Amino acid sequence: MNNTEKASSTQTTGAKLYVVPTPVGNLEDMTFRAIRILKTADLILAEDTRTSGFLLKHFEIKTPMQSHHKFNEHKTVESVVQRIKSGQMVALISDAGTPAISDPGFLVVRQCVENNIEVECLPGATAFVPALVASGLPNDRFCFEGFLPQKKGRQTKINDLATEKRTMIFYESPFRLLKTLTQLSEVFGTDRRASVSREISKIFEETKRGTLAELVQYFTEHNPKGEIVLIVAGLEE
């Protein structure tokens, strides 16, 4: 066994929670290390076992899975902690991207930290990073806002962000994109620069850049589809 193999072996032994990013579209974005961790883990916590089943089958990963999503994580988190305490290595994945970034994962990570269980997060796919870089908007300082509230507190949140000077990042549903662009245009001003990226790393990946008014016009004429990341310029001095 060479030094690299010894290092790899050491990194995957012992009770620990691994947070493992998975591709947001293109399966070639899966890392060698992520595959190795998922193959050697005792258990994989998956947001949707059916969706993750396709990923695991593609990479010939036969590790048992357990459902772990926003509707059951409060009930399952304690049992997960106990499994790790008993000596098991558990890997956490979401349907796509990095767990806990607008996906389940925060609760089990926090519980592990509070119980002095080692948590290691692998670097990997996260949809907002390529969208931010490709937007052409300033990326030296930015804030990640995730999904805006659908109803209660939505307008208040948008109003509060009107004076934010950093570039803002939002995740959005294609069904609410036009509404969000329109509301932001009304509060931020029609000439605020923005960028909409959809289907990142997939066949029909597309990024549209322009003012909020231009993007409202474009997506009024073109029905948006797929996973969407919206980047909005901050308020200029």
User: How does pLDDT run across 13-45, given as a tens digit for each residue?
Assistant: 579 999 999 999 999 999 999 999 999 999 999
Query: What is the total count of domains within the chain?
Result: 2
The rounded percent of the chain whose pLDDT value lies above 70 is 95
Residues 171 and 108 placed together within one structural domain of the fold: no
Residue 156 amino acid letter: T
The arithmetic mean of pLDDT across residues 82-99, rounded, is 96
- Does the pLDDT at position 194 exceed 60? yes
pLDDT higher than 70, residue 12:
no
- Whether residue 156 sits in one domain with residue 224: yes
Of 95, 121, 147, which marks where a domain is finished? 121
pTM of the model: 0.88
pLDDT beyond 70 at 2: no
Q: Does pLDDT of 68 surpass 70?
A: yes
Are 207 and 128 within 8 A, CB to CB? Answer: no
Q: CA 129, CA 75: separation in Å to the nearest integer? A: 32
The rounded mean pLDDT for the chain is: 93
- pLDDT value, residue 13: 53
Domain limits at 141?
Answer: 128-232
pLDDT at residue number 69:
87
Instruction: Write out the DSSP string of 121-159.
Output: E-----THHHHHHHH-S--SSEEEEEEPPSSTTHHHHHH
* More confident site: 81 or 71: 81
- Whether 100 and 183 map to the same domain: the answer is no
Tell whether 106 and 150 lie within a shared domain: no
Any domain includes 237:
no
89 or 1, higher pLDDT: 89
Spatial neighbors of 35 by CB under 8 A, at least 6 apart, are: 59, 61
